[in-house]
Amino acid sequence: MSTKEQQERIELLQGTLDLLILRTLQLGPMHGHAIAKAIEFRSNEVLQVEQGSLYPALHRLIKRGWISAAEGTSENNRKAKFYGLTARGRKQLVSKTKHRATSTAEWSRRMRVVRLCSSLET
């Protein structure tokens, strides 16, 4: 795999995680552990976001202004940082969701063309 392909793969994975976090925070502010658990729950335990991926993503989203962070107390009475979606983050979520839908529709269309061409060859 070339360096360019590796970079594209990393960007795809980071973009997917960013989108999952933004969608999760639509439900309201959450601390990191709750975000990871919500993603795991919403994916029927298929996706498990490790701390080594989650917290760099949260910091990346804060730098972009898509989420904010505030100190608070968790449900088990511990100090925690709570993350919430900003107006800019909501706008980005709409944009990413539309882009993903367009990409998915385009991919489906291309696959139909490939299947049609394959059936014509036989």
* 100 Cβ contact list (under 8 Å, min separation 6): 19
Residue 51 has pLDDT above 60, yes or no: yes
Angle at 84 between CA 82 and CA 85, to 5 degrees: 165
pLDDT digits (tens, 9 = 90+) for 18-41: 989 999 999 999 999 999 999 999
- Whether 83 has a pLDDT exceeding 80, the answer reads yes
pLDDT at res. 44: 87
Please state the pTM of the whole predicted model: 0.76
Count Cβ atoms within 10 A of the Cβ of residue 86 and give its class: 0-12 exposed, 13-18 middle, 19 or more buried: middle
pLDDT band at 69 (very low <50, low <70, confident <90, very high): very high
